[in-house]
Structures are given as structure tokens and as C-alpha cells.
């Protein structure tokens, strides 16, 4: 699979990366550990060597599963993980309440003080079974900690050889600007999909101008753009997706109409809707890498095949026209 340089760093990552949120089980209605490990191994063996995870995914479980999968293959992979989330104690900025994989009620805090970042790195290194993390990203902005303090911690970790590059997630332009005063931010990981394109207004232009990579997460809008989820779909207990605006009416029906309109383009390339959506996303200006989740080897292979064809400019224009005609209300 083709690789791209990540911003101003010397790190090269695949244009589609294995997104390891779902394999942690949390907020996805559980996951099978053996399937998850095989899914990652399949990714690596077939050229999708960039893996993105986070400490909070499954409260350490996702990182542990990634660690098992990369054992003996670490030199072939690029490991991206995230820090700055706390699910024990109440330091930092309250984020939201949830339940862990055992159903226990927990409060999630955003906390990225210097000492917390350094500790998070040690914990991630241990769970991943590696001595260096390729890209270490703050998961969400933490209003309780000065941005400069968080960035200083990343500078320390780079100097210690524990991380190769540092990045941010979900940072607006003003916070990116502030962070870059202290540390050379390699990337910003933000949500982006056919039906969620607000980063095109300011974040993409800013990142292009300042050589900052963009990692696009939730390109399938948490599975909705596969076309497999229809009205009345039964979700597993603990799955948060039906409570999000995109899964509610009339958004759900409007998005399904969009998918029906672009389906002939997918059929023309002999690919699935999901593969068409992923391919379109990789071709958007400013997007360095698209994160695609998978819970088993078959899903991994389907994601990899999304990089095996090219959309014409005419096809992209047709898709963009249909997207512009699709009404989405995120306030419901």
C-alpha cells in the first residue's frame, strides 16, 4: 500500500491505517480478542502497516491486542497511539460518563499534564510491548493544562527516544497555532467523512499551509456509510452509535439515499460502497491517512482493497454533487 510522509516529520505511514478503536470493545458492544489480533496481523501481512490505537480504547485492551499482533513484526509497522484520557480519579477536565467493558460506571476526564503525559507514555510502551512509539498524540484538548506544558512533555519524550513524533487530535486552528509555539506538531487527527466535512473550512487549509499531516478518523461515519445499516438495525448492548445524530431520522434515510446514488460508481469499479467511500476519502486534499476500523480479518482485507483502484476526477465531482444535495441535521 502507498505511503505518505506525515507532515514535517520523517515518518511515512500508509494511506489507509488500521483503526483499533472497535477492537477495544468499549462503545462498540464488545469485541472478540482472537479475531482482533488476526485482523491486525492480516493488515500487516497485506501492506497496511500503520496501526492507530489509544490508551482509552477498551481502557488499555486495544493497545494490549495491538502489542500481541505486532510481536515479531514491530520493524514492519508504524504504531500510532494517543494519551491524555483518564478513567480513574477526577483530575483534568470532565469529558463524559460511560461504562467500561464490564458494565461498571466510570467518568472519563481529559488530563494532559506533563507528568501524566510521561506516565501515559510508559504505560502505552508497556502495553504495546515496544520501546518506541512512532506517533504519540494528545487525544482531546485538555482545558485544565496549558498547551505548552503538554507540548513540553512531547519534547522530552522525543529527546529520550521514546517517541519519534508527536501529534494532536481534535485541535481547532487556534490550539494548533498555540501548540506549534512549543513543539513541531506532526499531525492533527480529526473526524472527516462524506457527510462530515467541516474541517475543510479552516483546519485543512491551515494544515496544508503549515505542513501538518491530517489523519481522518470515522471516514465511514462509524459504519453508516457501508450501506449495511438500515432503519430498524439491531445494535448490541453498549453500542453508542444509535444515539448519534447521523443514525437518527431523517439523517439516516437521507444518507441511505446518497449511498444509493453513488452505488453505480462502486459497481463500475467492482468494489463495495465501503471501499468506494474509503477511496474517495484518501483522495481529498490535505488528507494524509484515513483510519479504517476492522474487527476481523475479512473486514481488514475489505479495507485494504479500497486502495487498489482510482476514482476519476469526473467520478469524484459526481460524488461531491450528490453529497452537496444531502441534508444532514447534526442538532437532532
Query: Which residues lie closer than 8 Å to 164 by C-beta, 6 or more apart?
Result: 9, 10, 11, 132, 133, 134, 135, 158
Tell me the three state secondary structure of residue 50.
strand
Contact 151, 164 (CB under 8 A): no
Cα–Cα distance for residue pair 135/162, rounded to 1 Å: 10
Question: Rounded to 5 degrees, what angle do the CA atoms 238, 244, 250 make?
Answer: 130
How many CB atoms lie under 10 A from the CB of residue 200? Answer: 12
Contact 55, 21 (CB under 8 A): no
Nearest to 14 by CA among 65, 80, 66: 80
Q: Which of 57, 109, 171, 246 is catalytic?
A: 57
Cα–Cα distance for residue pair 150/46, rounded to 1 Å: 36
57 is catalytic: yes
Residue with cell 519534547: 155
How many CB atoms lie under 10 A from the CB of residue 171? Answer: 23
Q: Which residues are catalytic?
A: 57
Amino acid at each position: 500500500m502507498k505511503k505518505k510522509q506525515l507532515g514535517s516529520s520523517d515518518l511515512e505511514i500508509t494511506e489507509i491505517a488500521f483503526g483499533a478503536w472497535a477492537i477495544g470493545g468499549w462503545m462498540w458492544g464488545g469485541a472478540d480478542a482472537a479475531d482482533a489480533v488476526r485482523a491486525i496481523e492480516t493488515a500487516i501481512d497485506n501492506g497496511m502497516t500503520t496501526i492507530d490505537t489509544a490508551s482509552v480504547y477498551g481502557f488499555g485492551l486495544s493497545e494490549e491486542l495491538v502489542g500481541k499482533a505486532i510481536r515479531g513484526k514491530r520493524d514492519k509497522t508504524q504504531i500510532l497511539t494517543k494519551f491524555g484520557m483518564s478513567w480513574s480519579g477526577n483530575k483534568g477536565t470532565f469529558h463524559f460518563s460511560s461504562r467500561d467493558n464490564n458494565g461498571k460506571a466510570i467518568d472519563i476526564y481529559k488530563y494532559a499534564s506533563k507528568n501524566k503525559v510521561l506516565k501515559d507514555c510508559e504505560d502505552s510502551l508497556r502495553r504495546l510491548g515496544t520501546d518506541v512509539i512512532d506517533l504519540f498524540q494528545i487525544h482531546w484538548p485538555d482545558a485544565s493544562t496549558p498547551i505548552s506544558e503538554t507540548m513540553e512533555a512531547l519534547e522530552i519524550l522525543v529527546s529520550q527516544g521514546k517517541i519519534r513524533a508527536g501529534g494532536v487530535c481534535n485541535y481547532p486552528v487556534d490550539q494548533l497555532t498555540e501548540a506549534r509555539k512549543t513543539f513541531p506538531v506532526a499531525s492533527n487527527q480529526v473526524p472527516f467523512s462524506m457527510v462530515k466535512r467541516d474541517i475543510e473550512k479552516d483546519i485543512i487549509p491551515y494544515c496544508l499551509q503549515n505542513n501538518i499531516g491530517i489523519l481522518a478518523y470515522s471516514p465511514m461515519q462509524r459504519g453508516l456509510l457501508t450501506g449495511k445499516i438500515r432503519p430498524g438495525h439491531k445494535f448490541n448492548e453498549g453500542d453508542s452509535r444509535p444515539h448519534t445524530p447521523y443514525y437518527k431520522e431523517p439523517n439516516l434515510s437521507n444518507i441511505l439515499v446518497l449511498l444509493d446514488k453513488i452505488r453505480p460508481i462502486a459497481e463500475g469499479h467492482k468494489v463495495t460502497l465501503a471501499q468506494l467511500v474509503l477511496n474517495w476519502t484518501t483522495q481529498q486534499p490535505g488528507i494524509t491517512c484515513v483510519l479504517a476500523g476492522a474487527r476481523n480479518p475479512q473486514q481488514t482485507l475489505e479495507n485494504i482493497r479500497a486502495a487498489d483502484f482510482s476514482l476519476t476526477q469526473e467520478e469524484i465531482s459526481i460524488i461531491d454533487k450528490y453529497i452537496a444535495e444531502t441534508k444532514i441535521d447534526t442538532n437532532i
